[in-house]
Amino acid sequence: MTTRRLLIALPIIVLLFLLQSYFWVPTYEEQTRGNPQRLVEYVAASIGDAQLLNPTLSADSASSDINGLVFEGLLDYDENLNFRPRLATSWEIYEEAYFYVNEEAAVPGVGKVDARVLVRLINQAREEHAAREDPLSRSLSNIEAVESLPPRQFQRQISEASSEGNKTEVRLRISAPARIKLTLYGVDQDLFNNLAQLLGPGYFPSFRAEQYIVVEPAELEVKKKEYAQSYLPATEHNPVIIFNLRPGVKFQDGHVFNAHDVKFTYDSIMDPANVSPRLPDYEPIKSVEVLDPLTLRIVYKRLYSPALGTWMMGILPEHLLNGKALGEEARRRGLDPEKMSIRQSSFNRNPIGCGPFAFREWKSDQYILLDRFNDYWDGPANYLKYGYRIVPDVLTQEMEFYAGTVDSYGVQPHQVQRLKDDPRYQSFSGLSFGYTYIGYNLRREPFDDVRVREALGMAVDVDKIIRYVLYGQGERITGPFPKQTDFYEHAIQPLPCDPEGALRLLAEAGWKRNKQGWLEKNGKRLEFTLITNQGNNIRKAILSIVQDSWRKIGVDVRTDLLEWAVFIQERVNKLDFDALVLGWAMGIEPDLYQIWHSSQIGPYQLNFVGFKNREADELIIKIRQEYNREQQVAYCHRLHQIIAEEQPYTFLYVGKWTALLDKRIVIMERDKDGQVHYEKIKPTKTGNYTFYFNKWIKLPEMPTFAAEG
């Protein structure tokens, strides 16, 4: 070989060697030979790093994965989707309802009545209706106690902002009349509608609260009725939850958990300095009261049907994050203690919770390491260690799974048919609770025009994406609810792929093609940037298909792939984007307040596309306050319809997922005599195959299971 040809060949040889070295990983047998620790260490892989290891602040899936192991909530779902106790051993739900005595209204057959007579009237009705089954009788039988509360006087100071941005301090002097308190055995959302049969249909609506309020300064008297509705509502529902907490639970630093930690977690969410995305879940709370170290009383301002589920939130340790602790940390770090908030605390990279695994180390964009927490209240996990590796390249993840350096693998759509029945692995699959979408920044032109949004959606062949990118492992979706639930409105049809129809809509909106074929309006080209995150080949392919589709109709669209942290922190959280490809993982409850309510459109909030619709806002609130399942479903269907009509997203698809595990990973149980037995891993109703993760273990050899009948 000549020198020149050798010089050409050497770089190729070196490149091949480097590629071989890069992709080579030790086999499972090579790892475990002489290293039995690998059998008790579970390693997961993620395309993106966590952002904040604090359940009250994080909103990304990687952070949630780790938070779910380090922290614990008061309750969660069992395998049958019923609530089960965790840090709480039990709970009681009841209601305290109030209404003001309407001094001007006449009760049918009685006339005008005071508080004393009202109490007697309701108690008499309870006795008379005891054996009946009509709606009024059911509400009366749900009443445990009736009492009258005396008139009271109080003041409120509020600030009113003018259109120029100036603030006016307003003082309200309120002389409230007597009111009636009803203690109920359970929440009754129809209570006042039913009591209207007893007190008269006009009793509650005719209550004129404004007559009891004096507004200062006088020029704001015009807002008296609005103030009255806020501070003197004619009726008030106050659901109550009493939580009984588990004794002897410890945080991973040995500190004993108690009710003050729960109240502190709530207070930290509500503190505006922390900018918690969880705030909408807890805003309906009126008060959190510590009755004793193991008992909490939580009172809600109004009906709020998802209330119990919000307490699955991981609980923070007060002793590490209270004002004193933050002040000391600020001084150590040379920061201003007055401006120090939990969001700035180093705790978010060194978390301590009550969960089954304790934090050990976090090396950004490389790995997060956890150790088994031996004092976990529910007994230590079988795995001694948990590793969370950041592997942005899916091909590398796959190869490492085959070699055993990671223990699970999310199968790519094109691999499903080949791998789902591979005898070397156990596989789990199902329809995702979530969806993928193109989101538009409605604050920016041209996305403020629904015709443009709809036209962009019509130009995209979503079926092509499902067929060629997902290899059929997905289904069309048209709205914001999980497709497996009855909250999803199946009657709504997906947008058709109709480029010509899209051009007609754009023409209506004033966009016409110029001589070069680009869409133009008032001399300005229709151009913008579509972005998504690196490390997701499916989203990358979607980016290319959508760009090609839009360019064919004359949209000058550019694309950009961003590293996950930059994508979330600099673009999504700061609302700095035109359009993006992203996905939502959804829960079982139909509460969409954080993602779709118009109050949630600010930085670091989840309605980052800026969707605003008055009827949608009203429906979102009604869904939160509705305890009747049938009516809640009806509200959800209408909300689905509105969002489908407004097209703030181009809804693409819900994916089908398949996950692989080595067959040597099993559930290990010990009976009361200490005897060990093994079971196959089985998913729950929602497809959650990791439900019993704390009982998982990896064995040197695949065990033999008894034949299943």
Q: What are phi and psi of 577, to 5 degrees?
A: -160, 160
Query: Which of 222-226, 246-250, 429-433 tops mean pLDDT?
Result: 246-250
Report how far residue 111's alpha carbon sits from residue 109's, in angstroms, rounded to the nearest whole number. Answer: 6
> Greater confidence, 506 or 103?
506
Among positive and negative, which fits the CA dihedral 56, 60, 63, 68?
positive
Helix (H, G, I), strand (E, B) or coil at 592: coil
- What mean pLDDT is predicted for residues 402-419? 89
The yes-or-no verdict on residue 15 having pLDDT over 60 is no
Per-residue model confidence as pLDDT tens digits over 456-468 = 999 999 999 999 9
* pLDDT value of position 16: 36
Same domain flag for 187 and 110: yes
Counting the structural domains of the chain, the total is 3
Residue 299 lies in a domain: no
Which helix (H) or strand (E) is 332 found in, with range?
Answer: helix 323-332
102 plus 60 within the same structural domain: no
The single-letter code of the amino acid at 481 is: F
Res 371 pLDDT > 70: yes
pLDDT band of 164, cuts 50, 70, 90: low
Residue 132 pLDDT greater than 80, yes or no:
yes
Q: Are the CB atoms for 543 and 581 separated by under 8 Å?
A: yes
Same domain, 464 and 488: yes
Same domain, 443 and 549: yes
Alpha helix ranges (H) inside 609-696: 614-625, 629-646
pLDDT at 253: 98
Amino acid letter at 416? V
Name which residue leads in pLDDT, 709 or 495.
495
What's the mean pLDDT in 203-217? 93
Structure tokens at 590: 């139909």
Q: Is the omega angle on the peptide bond into residue 217 within 30 degrees of 0, that is, cis?
A: yes
Tokens of 288: 């959190």
d(CA 692, CA 279): 30
Distance CA 578, CA 555 (A): 13
State whether 218 and 123 are in the same domain: yes
Residue 548 has pLDDT above 70, yes or no: yes
In the predicted model, is pLDDT for residue 26 greater than 50?
A: no
From 220, 240, 260, the end of a domain falls on 240
Question: What would the pLDDT profile of 697-708 be if each residue is shown by its tens digit?
Answer: 999 888 777 554
Q: What is the mean pLDDT of the chain?
A: 91
Instruction: Name the token pair of 305.
Output: 């049907």
Residue 97 lies in a domain: yes
- Write the CB contacts of 566 (distance below 8 Å, at least 6 apart in sequence): none
Residues 607 and 469 placed together within one structural domain of the fold: yes
Structure confidence at residue 162 (pLDDT): 67
In a domain, 19, yes or no: no
Residues 100 and 216 in one domain: yes
User: Helix axis angle, 614-625 relative to 629-646, nearest 10°?
Assistant: 160
Range(s) of the domain holding residue 148: 93-240
* Residue 294 reports pLDDT greater than 90: yes
Q: What is the pLDDT of residues 171-205, one digit of tens each?
A: 999 999 999 999 999 999 999 999 999 999 999 99
Judgement on whether residues 152 and 192 belong to the same structural domain of the protein: yes
What separation, in Å, do the N-terminal and C-terminal C-alpha atoms of the chain show? 68
Please say which residue of 222, 240, 258 terminates a domain: 240
Q: Is residue 479 part of a domain?
A: yes
Q: Is 41 helix (H, G, I), strand (E, B) or coil?
A: strand
Q: Which of 206, 240, 274 is the last residue of a domain?
A: 240
Q: Could you tell me if 218 and 363 lie in one domain?
A: no
Q: Are residues 542 and 438 in the same domain?
A: yes
Over 50: is that where the pLDDT of 2 sits? no
> Given a cut of 60, is residue 299 above it in pLDDT?
yes
Q: What is the DSSP string of 223-267?
A: GHHHHHHHHS-SEEEEEEEEEEEPTT-B-TTSPBP-HHHHHHHHH
**Does one domain contain both 585 and 441?**
yes
Residue 537 domain-assigned (yes or no): yes
| Share of residues in the chain with pLDDT > 70 (%) | 94
579 and 627 part of one domain: yes
Specify the CATH number for the domain of residue 605: 3.10.105.10
- What CA–CA distance (Å, rounded) separates 701 from 603? 51
Strand order in the sheet with 285-292: 143-149, 179-184, 88-100, 235-245, 295-300, 285-292
Question: What is the structure's pLDDT at 163?
Answer: 61
Q: What is the pLDDT of residue 35?
A: 57
DSSP reduced 3-state for 48: coil
pLDDT surpasses 70 at 604:
yes
Residue 53 lies in a domain: yes
Structure tokens at 439: 């989101």
| Cβ neighbours, 10 Å, residue 366 | 12
Residue 261 lies in a domain: no
For residue 668, give the CATH number of its domain: 3.40.190.10
Quick check: 19 pLDDT over 70? no
State the residue for tokens 């994508």.
567
Question: Has residue 664 been placed in a domain?
Answer: yes
